[in-house]
Amino acid sequence: MSKISELLEANTASNRGSLIGYFPAGFPTVDDSVAALVAMAKNGCDVLEIGVPYSDPVMDGIVIQKATEKALENGFRLKQLFDVIRGVRDEVETPILVMSYWNPIMRFGVENFSAQLKEAGAQGIITPDLIPDEASSWIGVSEKLDLDRVFLVAPSSSDQRIESTSAASSGFVYSVSTMGITGERANLDEIAKSLTSRVKTLGSVPTCVGVGISTAAQVREVNSYASGAIVGTAFVNAFATGGIAALTEKTKELASGLG
């Protein structure tokens, strides 16, 4: 079992929820992103999700789009991702996943990217636009290097797709709470509960819910039926408007919903 799966299941067994926190590498600079991620880890995030800035972020809402655009404008390059991971790992032991669209990884070289990721101290990759059917090279490399593969399922996914995605995933399955892009929402769709129930029935890997989670109440609600809540926009927005101090407060606020 992966380190992340073990952590999620241990938290569930102790009646405590889990919080996965997203922040883009290089926003607004490499050093700033390291400081932000360390603050998130020290103030309540159980798992860190480091985003790779990309010029065509089809899943990301406006807040994250602007942050990744700023990172790219400031000269962020993919090779600096490993510097961010090392910088965080020097300060905390919190598990780290990288969130990346597949094209940058493919251009970098799947084996080279994975090897450097492992060496830097990360536990795996979340691939929002890669499905297991097209991931044979990544699955092979990840098994060789013992890296987690986090694939996504959506409310529109068939039972067959959920079953195959769960079988191919390790760490957890990323259940997208609602159809659409990332961003803060006042209410989470009821369909998220139905989706996670299907994932639990059809698979054996924990599932965490992301997209639209921005309050402690929502973190608490999601953890009542899933293995963890994934938050991105709320963290990025807090840092963009108030720096480390605001990000620290937002992390503590959301972590207060873990029980």
160-187 confidence digits (pLDDT tens): 999 999 999 999 999 997 644 444 444 4
For residue 249, give Cα distances in angstroms to 36, 50, 140, 242: 12, 19, 40, 10
What domain count does the chain have?
1
Is 258 contained in some domain? no
Task: With beta carbons less than 8 A apart as the criterion, state whether 175 and 153 touch.
Answer: yes
Give pLDDT, residue 178.
Answer: 61
CATH number, position 107? 3.20.20.70
Per-residue pLDDT tens over the stretch 44-74: 999 999 999 987 756 668 899 999 999 999 9
154 belongs to a structural domain = yes
Domain range for residue 89?
Answer: 3-11+18-253
Residue 204 falls within a domain, yes or no? yes
Asked whether residue 180 is domain-assigned, the answer is: yes
CB 171 within 8 A of CB 9: no
DSSP assignment of 108-131 equals H-HHHHHHHHHHHT--EEE-TT--
Per the CB < 8 A criterion, the answer to whether 148 and 4 are in contact is yes
Residue 31 maps to a domain: yes
Catalytic residues: 49, 60
CB atoms within 10 A of CB 112: 11
> pTM, whole model, 2 decimals?
0.93
Is 259 a member of any domain? no
